[in-house]
Amino acid sequence: MLIEQIPEVFRRFLPGVIWRGDKTRKVIYLTFDDGPNPLNTPWLLDELDRLQIKATFFCIGGNVERHPDLYQEIIRRGHRVGVHGYAHVRGLFKDRKAFDEDCAKAASLIDSDLYRPPHGKLYIDQFKAMSKRYKVILWDVITRDYNPKLPPEKIYDIAVKYGRNGSIVVFHDSQKAMKNMRYAFPKAVEFWKQQGYQFETL
């Protein structure tokens, strides 16, 4: 519960950060982090076309640099892109200058007003600085598809258990999440469609 869906009381500590969309509508915002990845993103783009859904991709600048055609293909197919840093630094940037440099590099590669910090973590002053330049997007549901130790069925269960009106849901198009995401994401979409949900980009 604490990981998959962070309670409202904790969300208030980060004012200005977007955790959830419109709570009054049956709408879900699918987001895919850490791509573009040549092993996983093309499959995902085809699957989104098949399901007739537009999603939001929080791209890593370094991956955009390595796979520019794939990045352009995401946009060409009508999806939104957001900034997810350049090098996806683990944990928090203790070196503020390195953080600024990473952000500047990512911004030079990804044209967007959306930002999601790697691992969802920043120092408060960094959250404030980034929210002046971007809409800072965290999430309502994190599926934990990035954890290969969890079985794919568990990822599906997390998605449908916590998904609700206005949920911003995190999946990953990284290689590590491939097995879990490919199982859980289409199945969860079919479930949500049956429940009457629509899908929108951020």
How many residues of this chain bind Zn ion (CB under 5 A)? 3
Neighbours of 50 (CB within 10 A): 10
Convert 115-142 to b/e letters by CB count within 10 Å (16 or more is b): bbbbebebeeebbebbbeebbbbbbbbb
Q: Counting Cβ atoms within 10 Å, is residue 196 exposed (0-12), middle (13-18) or buried (19+)?
A: exposed
Of the residues 34, 102, 140, 173, which one makes contact with Zn ion according to CB under 5 A: 34
Part in contact with Zn ion (CB under 5 A); list of ranges 10-18, 116-124, 159-167, 189-197: 116-124
- Least distance in angstroms from the C-beta of 117 to Zn ion: 9
Site string for Zn ion, 74-113 (x = CB under 5 A): ----------------------------------------
Residue 36, token pair as written in the block: 């573009």
**Of residues 117-176, those binding Zn ion (CB under 5 A):** 118
> Which secondary-structure segment (H or E) carries 89?
none
Looking at the Cβ atoms of 3 and 9, the one nearer to Zn ion is 3
Part in contact with Zn ion (CB under 5 A); list of ranges 17-25, 31-39, 102-110, 161-169: 31-39
